[in-house]
Amino acid sequence: MKAVGFKAPSPIDVPESLIDLDLPQPVPTGRDLLVAVRAVSVNPVDTKVRASRKPVEGQAEVIGWDAAGVVEAVGPEATLFKVGDPVFYAGAIDRPGSNAQFQLVDERIVGRKPASLSFAEAAALPLTAITAWELLFDRLGATTDSTGALLVVGGAGGVGSILIQLARQLTGLTVIATASRPETRDWCLALGAHHVVDHAGDLVSAVKATGAGPVGLVASLTNTTDHFPALVEILAPQGRLGVIDDPKSLDALPLKWKSISLHWEMMFARSLYQTPDMIEQHRLLDAVADLVDAGRLKTTLTQVLTPINAANLKTAHAAVESGRTRGKIVLEGF
């Protein structure tokens, strides 16, 4: 089967940072599905793993954590899907990724593809939808009855684009998003943000100027280290701060005086540690598909590259690493 991978960690401008491969087609066992991949999207985790992970000597590593495709075969213990079912999923961080014609994935972290979306449109959603859902509801504790204000730092990125929509559709929160360019500001407003402020300026004053009232929840999706002092000041006493990026250092002591709780979200945790509630990601993705098909949630696809090969993946990785993308870049077809 065709695939794309790497044999050594390297910057994206190195010619062999990503290479085209020909690999054996895997066989499903247990609760695995063998999925014929139709489309994939690229996330920051792809670029971080490509630049840092060392594959086994002499072997290539296939990455990619977002896909939509069709079930080609099922393992003997699989019960949730059958051959021919269209599906979408993010996959597991410790298994071969989706940048291949065929991929094995545990059915407990797979959802039905939204019927109203193309494979490319669906591939833009899984990782960011899981991250946004778990961050908003599982970590920050938002519910359908939640009111007050939510600040989303990095509203135009992949996770922010979903988080804004989920908060607007499923809670009563007032959503304040941050964006620093006219096009990303417009993007956040189109997704439903009540207010958009510039995180490149005085964030504390900008949030106060919205008149949204006390901010009880903050989703810090990017540059947490830089924004941390402002976020502590912005958050109301007994508020919650959710983080998904990788701050090199974070002094949590300032949170103590306001009894602010710090919450990490890592969407791979359930599959990596095979948690008893791992199937919640299957249910979550099915719920996302229902919201999409009901017209309540939009795909965040903004660009499609064809086909899925090393050259196009390099282009996508470079764009994601620039930090200036909005929504998601998708690759389609082999």
How distant, in Å, are the alpha carbons of 161, 245, 334 from that of 220?
A: 13, 8, 36
Distance CA 284, CA 130 (A): 7
Mean pLDDT of the chain: 97
Burial of residue 178, with CB atoms counted within 10 A of its CB: 0-12 exposed, 13-18 middle, 19 or more buried: buried
Q: What share of the chain is helix, strand, coil (3-state, %, to 5)?
A: 30, 25, 45
How distant, in Å, are the alpha carbons of 42, 327, 332 from that of 304?
A: 11, 12, 7
pLDDT of 305 reads 98
Mean pLDDT over residues 245-271, rounded? 95
Question: What count of other Cβ atoms lies within 10 Å of the Cβ of residue 259?
Answer: 9
Q: What is the pLDDT of residues 168-209, one digit of tens each?
A: 999 999 999 999 999 999 999 999 999 999 988 899 999 999
Alpha helices in the chain (DSSP H): 44-52, 119-123, 126-133, 158-170, 182-191, 203-209, 224-234, 253-256, 269-272, 280-293, 310-322
pLDDT of 248 reads 84
pTM (two decimals):
0.96
Distance CA 134, CA 140 (A): 8
Distance CA 24, CA 18 (A): 18
Q: Are strands 195-197 and 174-178 parallel, antiparallel or unpaired?
A: parallel
User: DSSP secondary-structure letter at 100?
Assistant: B
Residue 58: pLDDT over 90: no
pLDDT of 314 reads 98
Structural domains of the chain ordered from first start: 2-125+276-332 (3.90.180.10), 128-264 (3.40.50.720)
pLDDT of 323 reads 85
Question: What count of other Cβ atoms lies within 10 Å of the Cβ of residue 251?
Answer: 11
pLDDT of 249 reads 84
Question: What count of other Cβ atoms lies within 10 Å of the Cβ of residue 76?
Answer: 9
pLDDT of 121 reads 98
Q: What is the pLDDT of residues 283-318, one digit of tens each?
A: 999 999 999 999 999 999 999 999 999 999 999 999
Question: What count of other Cβ atoms lies within 10 Å of the Cβ of residue 53?
Answer: 13
Residue 326: pLDDT over 90: no
Confidence grade of residue 149 (pLDDT, cut at 50, 70, 90)? very high
